[in-house]
Amino acid sequence: MNSARPRADHQAAQPPLHGIRVIDMSSVLMGPFASQALGDMGADVIKIEAPAGDVVRQIGPARHADMGPIFLNTNRNKRSVVLDLKHADGVAALKRLLGDADVLLYNVRPQAMTRLGLDYDSVRALNPRLVYAGVFGFGQDGPYAARPAYDDLIQGAATLPYLMARASGDIPRYVPTAVADRIVGQVAVGAILASLLARQRTGLGDRVDIPMFETMVGFVLGDHLGGLTYDPPLDGGGYARQLSPERRPYRTRDGYICALVYNDKQWAGFLRGIGRSTLPQEDPRFASFASRAAHIDHVYGWLAQVFEQRSTQEWFDLLQEADVPCMPMHDLHSVLSDPHLLATGFFQTMEHPSEGTVRSMRLAPRWQTAQIATPRPAPRLGEHTRQVLQESGFSTPEIDRLLHVRAAIAAAPEESA
């Protein structure tokens, strides 16, 4: 172990992952989203970037080049080290960093990792305690193993655009957020933490592959396999309630509201609130959970007509009195002033050394005794190259030589925090 950095001391006041070092070779969104979660929980995340930097740095409006908003909100609590892995000295430097790491997270295709000499067997020989975690498109025992993968492609292959079209009667569309990247990233966090827990028992790390395609197919079909679960099939698949074209925010007299009148108790309270308590006796389609589910398009269509008769605030008051779940339909501006998010401190502002005041979202889980540190702002490209190499035992002449031959790149001092 490298004595230059603190290891886990099991003090309750420390973050949950205090003392865990993650070498993060991933880029774009899926891997960085996962490593940010690990960093938020206290891991020391070393982000390895190519000389050109993570391409996500360039997405969206920015005050300075290479510091776009998606990068800022997916790379806090990390340190940036620039190594040129096309240079033999850059690969050698990375291997030295791996010798004292707990986790290697990568989204480079496994074939490329092998060409770099960073395949699992080679890395395990350097550090048998390392958790070697790969997030990539497809499981490595199938015919798609070597294919590249992006969020849009995986959404399509996992049936999401088909389901969007089936629900809306419109053309197939992707979900307008990187849902596959973020879901698979969260699954990766769980897999990495499970591997670290197993290491406590065995003393050895492991290789864990987290493929996008299989993860997302399982995620979506958990709801929509439906009658195809059985052999022979009972229906053509799909969860009728989720696919109803009437399943959407309800238009009110002056806006919209999100409400779910779901179980029998909620229906009784809702109907009592609008003066229609006898509806289940008058119309058997409303008589029970099963009958409402069997006629879900009609039920949701009826609700849509009812909701148009009152203002949004009137509905909030009525639904809360009836104990029917409801929420506002926020837009990108109104969500920033949601009273619950404000009260819980979900949105945080910090002074970034180069970007000025920036808004970020805090880690949602909260612990009773473990302490979560003040977030470290997302790093400038190569901001921590010298610092991390020094911590890992590189001498000043060694670092200077790496920088001279461009196997490593460090931010200029005036750009560093």
Residue pLDDT, tens place only, 21-66: 999 999 999 999 999 999 999 999 999 999 999 999 999 999 998 9
CA separation for the pair 348, 362 (Å, rounded): 7
Q: Provide the strand spans (E) within 102-222.
A: 103-106, 131-136, 207-211
Domain 21-219+347-415 in this protein, CATH class: alpha beta
CA separation for the pair 149, 266 (Å, rounded): 43
Across 121-135, 304-318, 363-377, least confident range: 363-377
Task: Pick left, alpha or beta for residue 206 (phi over 0 → left; psi -120 to 50 → alpha; otherwise beta).
Answer: beta
**Mean pLDDT of all residues in 382-386:** 97
Q: In CATH, what number does 250-327 get? A: 3.30.1540.10
Across 1-5, 32-36, 307-311, 318-322, least confident range: 1-5
**Domains in the chain: boundaries:** 21-219+347-415, 250-327
Residues 6+ apart with CB under 8 A from 414: none
Question: Which amino acid, one-letter code, is at 256?
Answer: Y
CA separation for the pair 336, 290 (Å, rounded): 38
Residue pLDDT, tens place only, 281-316: 999 999 999 999 999 999 999 999 999 999 999 999
CA separation for the pair 402, 400 (Å, rounded): 6
Question: Which amino acid, one-letter code, is at 59?
Answer: I
Asked if 15 contacts 372 with a C-beta cutoff of 8 angstroms, the reply is yes
Q: What pLDDT is recorded for position 414?
A: 52
Residues 6+ apart with CB under 8 A from 128: 204, 205
CA separation for the pair 147, 137 (Å, rounded): 7
Buried b (16+ CB within 10 A) or exposed e, 48-86: bbbbebbebbeeeebeeebbbbbbbbbbbbbbbbbbbbe
The label of the residue with tokens 């070092």 reads 21
Helices (H), 225-263: 240-243
Residue pLDDT, tens place only, 337-347: 999 999 999 99
Write down the pTM of the prediction. Answer: 0.92
